Amino acid sequence: MSYRNSREMEEEIIRNYERDEHMMILVFAQWCVNHDLNPEELYKQAYPDQQDNPVLQQTLELVVPKEEAGDIPHDTVLGVLSLFGNEELSFVVTEHIAKLRK
């Protein structure tokens, strides 16, 4: 395999990861809206030392009102967060799931 092909493959992997990361953030943000939660607030709870997440900001433009959205099961949002190693955010989401169930 030539360096060029290897480099192209690496760039493709990065693009796919970024696309999938955007999808994970969209699932998280839509789940929040569906449950009357603010995605930015939950994100700040999980990552209080981080500045605003530009990908989250971009993704919020794609979120639809909960009346127009399909249901996103709790297990789905937790599974997607876990796929990306988003343990802090999974913890915050789990806390809110427990509150929603009460």
Crossing angle for the helix pair 87-101 and 39-46, to the nearest 10 degrees: 120
- Please enumerate in sequence order all residues whose Cβ is within 8 A of that of 1, keeping only pairs 6 or more positions apart, or say none: 9
The 10s digit of each residue's pLDDT in 40-57 is 999 999 999 988 888 899
Instruction: Provide the whole-model pTM.
Output: 0.86
User: What residue segments make up the domains of the chain, in order of their start?
Assistant: 21-101
CA gap 41, 45 in Å, rounded? 6
The 10s digit of each residue's pLDDT in 17-39 is 888 888 999 999 999 999 999 99
- Between the alpha carbon of residue 92 and those of residues 2, 44, 46, 79, 81, the distances in Å are 45, 10, 6, 14, 11
